[in-house]
């Protein structure tokens, strides 16, 4: 039998000496904290550790741990965003295989894609040691329940997954599971990194003519978010000047380029009203380019498509903001 030697020094020896007498806690040892909305706990598990930071940079393990004495993986995945750590104990009669299969199914159902997965030997001999260091002890109100990760570190499973939300933000989830060993509870450790949604409409306002040209060459179209209108109206607002200047510069640099000026709205309001509004907005952009920049109107065909071609979900403010746009589409 392997010796389950503690890795964090003598300070935890007292806690570990009582490990065999510990069963599942009657309730969560972390108070005032719920499961993360993305992943609920395995049935019967108890939350025993938690930490959340609003916005930091962090690296998640994304590869096998190399047996070089340094406990470092072949690949790290650098991320930044809201960082949440959760640790659970689960009942001894369950297995890490059963627990992990349930988490994998939940991640798949949530639309996440697996980036890396390993089990036991395929994770590398030092994987459990590396993850034990990542789990640490400071997130545990009662460090007795940390011992599950120490005793189970030679029987591990791990998965790293990535998903994109309707508002364009991303979420990464790392799930680490250890078997119940030597009458210890099993352990689940989860790391979640949630990026903030892109501030739609802020970058595209400064899109250069050169960038627009490249996007059209690559994709046949380019979205411009720097053309502004009042709600429900079609008049082009003065603060649209920077975007219109770059659109005109593009068209003057390529005299043979003819484009559709396509107006897009979000889904608020009726489809008929939005179809009319998006058409009128497209027509006003054509008029602005013709009147202020001397671009021939025959090169510009206005079309309004309302909310029929969204690039994000209309269920959130951020998504609706991304959907409200003007596109130049090569004819």
Does the pLDDT at position 318 exceed 80? no
Q: Dump strand ranges (E) for 122-255.
A: 156-164, 170-178, 186-194, 221-224
Question: Which residues is 97 bridged to in the sheet?
Answer: none
Does the pLDDT at position 4 exceed 70? no
Does the pLDDT at position 315 exceed 50? yes
Does the pLDDT at position 5 exceed 60? no
User: For 206-229, how does the pLDDT look when each residue is reduced to its tens digit (9 = 90+)?
Assistant: 578 888 999 899 999 999 888 999
For residues 169 and 256, the model is more confident at 256
Taking the domains of the chain in order of start, what are their residue ranges? Answer: 10-194, 204-330
pLDDT at 314: 86
pLDDT at 320: 85
User: For 16-26, how does the pLDDT look when each residue is reduced to its tens digit (9 = 90+)?
Assistant: 434 454 789 99
Would the pTM count as exceeding 0.75?
no
- From 243, 213, 245, select the one nearest 226 (Cα to Cα): 243
Does the pLDDT at position 266 exceed 70? yes
Q: Quick one: pLDDT band at residue 205, thresholds 50, 70, 90? A: very low
Does the pLDDT at position 176 exceed 70? yes
Domain spanning 204-330, CATH architecture: 2-Layer Sandwich (3.30)
Does the pLDDT at position 322 exceed 90? no
| % of the chain surpassing 90 pLDDT | 70
Q: What phi, psi does 159 have (nearest 5°)?
A: -145, 140
């Amino acid at each position: 039998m392997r010796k389950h030697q503690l890795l964090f020094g003598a300070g935890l020896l007292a806690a570990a000496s009582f490990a065999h007498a510990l069963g599942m806690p009657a309730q969560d040892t972390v108070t005032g904290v719920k499961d993360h909305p993305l992943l609920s706990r395995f049935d019967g598990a108890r939350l025993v550790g938690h930490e959340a930071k609003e916005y930091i940079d962090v690296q998640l393990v994304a590869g096998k741990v190399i047996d070089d004495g340094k406990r470092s993986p072949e690949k790290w995945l650098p991320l930044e965003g809201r960082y949440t750590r959760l640790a659970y104990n689960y009942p001894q009669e369950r297995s890490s295989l059963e627990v992990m299969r349930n988490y994998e199914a939940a991640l798949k159902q949530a639309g996440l894609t697996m980036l890396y997965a390993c089990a036991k030997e395929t994770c590398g001999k030092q994987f459990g040691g590396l993850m034990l260091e990542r789990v640490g002890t400071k997130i545990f109100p009662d460090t007795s329940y940390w011992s599950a990760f120490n005793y189970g570190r030679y029987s591990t499973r791990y998965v790293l997954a990535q998903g994109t939300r309707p508002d364009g933000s991303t979420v990464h989830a790392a799930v680490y599971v250890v078997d119940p060993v030597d009458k210890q509870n099993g352990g689940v450790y989860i790391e979640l990194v949630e990026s903030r949604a892109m501030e739609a409409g802020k970058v595209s306002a400064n899109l250069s003519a050169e960038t627009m040209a490249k996007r059209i060459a690559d994709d046949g179209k380019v979205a411009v978010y720097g053309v502004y209108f009042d709600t429900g109206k079609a008049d082009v607002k003065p603060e649209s000047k920077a975007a219109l200047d770059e659109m005109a510069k593009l068209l003057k640099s390529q005299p043979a380029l003819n484009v559709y000026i396509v107006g897009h709205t979000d889904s608020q309001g009726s489809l008929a009203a939005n179809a009319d509004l998006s058409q009128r907005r497209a027509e006003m952009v054509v008029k602005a380019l013709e009147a202020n920049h001397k671009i021939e109107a025959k090169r510009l065909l206005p079309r309004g498509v309302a909310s029929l071609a969204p690039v994000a979900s209309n269920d959130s403010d951020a998504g609706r903001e991304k959907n409200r746009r003007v596109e130049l589409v090569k004819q």
